[in-house]
C-alpha cells in the first residue's frame, strides 16, 4: 500500500511515522508513506500556499494552485483508489472505514489548514472526506496520522500476531475485554482466577462475556446498533 500525505506542515508527521509499529511496517516494505510539503509546489516567490477568503472573514484558505499541482504530480506517478480530505465536516471515521481503506492499494490524503481549502478542490479532486470526531483540530495532520495508523496496523504482517488486529475493540462491534499481566497478585490486588486456570475455552467465554458487559455499560450505542 502507498499512502501519500499532502501537508504544509510536514514536520508534524515525522514522529507518528518515525516510530514503533508504523516505522516497522515501512521498514518491512508493507506500506510506503510519503509526506509531501505543499510549499514545494507553490509558484509564489515566497512559497505562499494560502490566501484570504473571497467575501472576507477571518482565516486563510489553501489555494488551488499548489494543491492541484501537487495532486496532479502524484496522480502522474500512480492511480489512487481514494483522495481523502481530512475535515471536521467529513464522514465520521470508524473501524469499518479503517477496514475498508486497508484493502485499497494507493491512498492520497490532503490535510487542511487554517480555514480549510478552496471549495473547488473538494468538489473536483477529492473522492472522500473524513473527520476523526466532532471537534476542530488546528489542521488535518494529526487526523491523517490517526487514520493512517488505524489502517496500517490492519495490513497483513504489520502486527506480529496475525490475530491481534482481529481481536481489537470494535472489530466485532464490542469493546475489548480487560487484560492483566504479571504479577498475579500485586500488593493484594489479584487478577481474576479464570485467567490463571489454563482452561482456554472457559477463558475465551469469560472474555466474551466481559466484552459484552463492558459494551453494554460503556458504549450502549454500539451495543444497540450491533443487535
Binding mask 40-79 for ligand ADE (x = CB under 6 A): ----------------------------------------
Interaction of residue 110 with ligand ADE, rule CB under 6 A = no
In sign, the C-alpha dihedral spanning 17, 23, 26, 27 is positive
Draw the binding track, 1-40, toward ligand ADE (x: CB under 6 A; -: no contact): ----------------------------------------
Residue 66 vs 116, nearer CB to ligand ADE: 116
Q: Which of 41, 62, 43 lies closest to 51, judged by CA?
A: 62
Q: Site for ligand ADE (CB under 6 A): which residue of 137, 154, 158, 211?
A: 137
In the complex, what is the shortest distance from the CB of residue 195 to ligand ADE, in angstroms, rounded to a whole number?
A: 38
Determine the Cα–Cα distance for residues 180 and 23; give it in Å rounded to an integer: 27
Window of 56-64, 76-84, 134-142, 176-184 that interacts with ligand ADE by CB under 6 A: 134-142
Rounded-to-integer distance, Cα 5 and Cα 31, Å:
13
Yes or no: say if 4 and 74 are a contact pair by the CB < 8 Å rule: yes
Rounded distance between C-alpha atoms, residue 64 and residue 121, angstroms: 7
The interface region with ligand ADE, picked from 5-13, 82-90, 100-108, 185-193 by CB under 6 A, is: 82-90
Which residue minimizes CB distance to ligand ADE? 143
DSSP string, 124-193: HT-SEEEESSSS--SBSHHHHHHHHHHHHTTSTTTSSSTTTTTTSTTTTSSPPPP---S-SEETTEEPPG
Nearer to ligand ADE, 66 or 140 (CB): 140
Q: Which residues contribute to the site for ligand ADE (CB under 6 A)? A: 86-88, 112, 131-133, 135-137, 140, 143
Amino acid at each position: 500500500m502507498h499512502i501519500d500525505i499532502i501537508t504544509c506542515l510536514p514536520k508534524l508527521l515525522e514522529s507518528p511515522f518515525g516510530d514503533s509499529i508504523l516505522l516497522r511496517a515501512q521498514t518491512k516494505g508493507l506500506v510506503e508513506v510519503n509526506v509531501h510539503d505543499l510549499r514545494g509546489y507553490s509558484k509564489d516567490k515566497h512559497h505562499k500556499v494560502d490566501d484570504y477568503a473571497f467575501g472576507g472573514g477571518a482565516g486563510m484558505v489553501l489555494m488551488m494552485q499548489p494543491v492541484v499541482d501537487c495532486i496532479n504530480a502524484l496522480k502522474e506517478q500512480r492511480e489512487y483508489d481514494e483522495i481523502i480530505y481530512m475535515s471536521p465536516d467529513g464522514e465520521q471515521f470508524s473501524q469499518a472505514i479503517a477496514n475498508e481503506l486497508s484493502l485499497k492499494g494507493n491512498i492520497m490524503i490532503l490535510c487542511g489548514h487554517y480555514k480549510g481549502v478552496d471549495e473547488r478542490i473538494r468538489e473536483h479532486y477529492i473522492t472522500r472526506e473524513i473527520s476523526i470526531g466532532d471537534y476542530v483540530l488546528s489542521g488535518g495532520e494529526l487526523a491523517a496520522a490517526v487514520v493512517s495508523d488505524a489502517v496500517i496496523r490492519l495490513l497483513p504482517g504489520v502486527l506480529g500476531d496475525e490475530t491481534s488486529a482481529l481481536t481489537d475493540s470494535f472489530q466485532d462491534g464490542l469493546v475489548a475485554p480487560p487484560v492483566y499481566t504479571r504479577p498475579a497478585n500485586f500488593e493484594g490486588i489479584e487478577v481474576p482466577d479464570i485467567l490463571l486456570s489454563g482452561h482456554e475455552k472457559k477463558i475465551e467465554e469469560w472474555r466474551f462475556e466481559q466484552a459484552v458487559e463492558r459494551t453494554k455499560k460503556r458504549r450502549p450505542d454500539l451495543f444497540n446498533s450491533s443487535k
